[in-house]
Amino acid sequence: MKNKLILFLGLFLATSVGVFAQSDNISPARKQAIDSLALEKVKDLSKYISIIGSKETQFSEANRVMDRAEELFAPGAEMGVSSINSNDIAYYKVRRYFERLMALNYDRVNISWYDIQYISDLERQPDGRYVGVITIYQRFEGTSIETGMNYKDTTKKDITIYVEKKQTQIAGRTIEFWDVMLGDVRVTETSV
Amino acid sequence: MKQKLISLTVNRSLLIAVFAMLAMGACKSKKKVVEPTTVPAQTEQVSPTPAPTPAARSAEEMAVENLENAFNSVAGASNVTVANQSIQQALGMFSNQETPILIVIHEENGIKDYDEPTTIKNYLEYLKDTKKNLNYISDIRMDANGKVSELELRRK
């Protein structure tokens, strides 16, 4: 009788430990889903930047998109800005960067991101967060019809990615989700 | 004899406890749209009744079809004005603009991994901005007025 009770308790504990351990051990397929989620957020940012920069975007739409783009970033995150005419790299808080981008003195602005990929995989940190780095290439083209000025450059930028598991309440239920936050965007190369 | 009786009672209690644990793990509250639901086998039939018309299920299926079309319209809109019109039409199908949208990015051993939950208003604007519809509807909940009160999406 005593042995059976011990066996039962043992089974119960083993099942419980297994369930809790699942939150720490991430299978390759699950990890890949999280990697893809973070990569998708960066691709979303590229769309938002293109909309904000475009002179065809209405002011109200650009402001709405700025809000959405800002939500992708961790508080205090900064964006690097460079130019082929200078060796300096300026860093702005992301909101300020978006506002400057929207106000650029060109008649036509075209911004596109390509070759978006991880250069440092998401790795679990002691605090439970996952941190990685995604690199992108940004092609910028600004045209001023009146002056005939046409500025073009290509910038390589590294974006720090933070992924953290969080909880929220939806219709009385607790939903656990992966919160992806973008950190600083550092300029690493600028060319014509 | 008494010992045997006690042992039998303990065994039965253990068996009940194991079944109770299994039953707890199998609890489900939402109705799946994509996966077919299992209908319990009928053991006795009093009188021949006409085939039941699953009205609620049809309403859900119709809503899913309409919503998939609406999402594609927003994502594929040729300009902002057209996209905004599609968004307004789609919003009419929901309880309100704050209707929660859950996006499952992965499921393993019954555990779902979600993207950050959003609202239908934000999700429709996301489709408009990114011009991509990466998800399909995997689960839907409707309120008493036939409006969508919650939506679960999954990566295609």
Question: Quick check: A51 and B129 CB within 8 A?
Answer: yes
Chain B residue with minimal CA distance to A31?
B106
Listed in sequence order, the DSSP H helices in chain B are 2-25, 55-75, 80-91, 120-130
B113 contacts chain A (CB < 8 A): yes
pLDDT of the residue at B14: 52
- Which 3 state secondary structure label does DSSP give A34? helix
Q: Considering the domain boundaries, does residue A36 fall inside one?
A: yes
Q: Domain limits of chain B? A: 56-155
Contact B73, B125 (CB under 8 A): no
Chain A residue with minimal CA distance to B107?
A30
CA–CA dist A56, A34 (Å, integer): 34
Q: Are strands A130-143 and A150-170 parallel, antiparallel or unpaired?
A: antiparallel
A22 contacts chain B (CB < 8 A): yes
Domain of A65 in residue numbering reads as 27-191
Q: Which candidate, B118, B125, B115, B129, places its Cα nearest to that of A48? A: B129
Q: Considering the domain boundaries, does residue A12 fall inside one?
A: no
Q: What residue ranges of chain B have pLDDT lower than 70?
A: 1-57
pLDDT of the residue at B31: 42
A179: chain B residues, CB-CB within 8 Å: 116
Q: Residue A2 contacts by C-beta under 8 Å, 6 or more apart in sequence?
A: none
What type of residue sits at position A26?
Answer: I
pLDDT of the residue at B7: 54
Residue B47, min C-alpha distance to chain A (Å): 41
Q: Residue A185 contacts by C-beta under 8 Å, 6 or more apart in sequence?
A: A77, A78, A79, A80, A157, A158, A159
Q: Considering the domain boundaries, does residue A22 fall inside one?
A: no
pLDDT of the residue at B42: 44
A19 DSSP β-pair partners = none
B19: chain A residues, CB-CB within 8 Å: none
Scan for tokens 């998800």, then name that residue: B135
Q: Considering the domain boundaries, does residue A10 fall inside one?
A: no
Question: Quick check: B108 and A170 CB within 8 A?
Answer: no
pLDDT of the residue at A149: 87
Chains A, B: CB pairs < 8 Å: 74
**Torsions phi, psi for A190 (to 5 deg):** -135, 130
ipTM: 0.85
A48 contacts chain B (CB < 8 A): yes
C-beta contacts of A89-95 below 8 A and 24+ residues apart: A89/A187, A91/A184, A94/A69, A94/A70, A95/A66, A95/A70
pLDDT of the residue at B59: 86
Q: Considering the domain boundaries, does residue A102 fall inside one?
A: yes
Question: Quick check: A68 and B125 CB within 8 A?
Answer: yes
Q: Are strands B100-108 and B148-155 parallel, antiparallel or unpaired?
A: parallel
Residue A30, min C-alpha distance to chain B (Å): 6
Q: Residue A124 contacts by C-beta under 8 Å, 6 or more apart in sequence?
A: A26, A130
B82 contacts chain A (CB < 8 A): no
Of B14, B116, B129, the CB nearest to A68: B129
pLDDT of the residue at B12: 62
Helix pair angle (B80-91, B120-130), 10° resolution: 160
Chain A residue with minimal CA distance to B131?
A47
pLDDT of the residue at B29: 36
Q: Considering the domain boundaries, does residue A136 fall inside one?
A: yes
Assigned token pair, A5: 């009770």
What type of residue sits at position A54?
Answer: S
pLDDT of the residue at A126: 96
**CATH T-level topology, domain B56-155:** Nuclear Transport Factor 2; Chain: A, (3.10.450)
CA–CA dist A120, A133 (Å, integer): 5
Burial of residue A55 (CB within 10 Å: 0-12, 13-18, 19+) is middle
Q: Considering the domain boundaries, does residue A166 fall inside one?
A: yes
pLDDT of the residue at A143: 96
If chain A, 192 residues long, is cut into consecutive pieces of 10 residues, what is the mean pLDDT of each piece?
A: 54 42 73 97 98 97 98 98 95 98 96 98 96 98 92 98 97 96 97 94
A44 contacts chain B (CB < 8 A): yes
Indicate the number of domains in chain A. Answer: 1
From residue A172, give the alpha-carbon distance in Å to each of A168, A175, B28, B64, B100.
9, 9, 15, 24, 12
Contact A38, A132 (CB under 8 A): yes
B122: chain A residues, CB-CB within 8 Å: 68
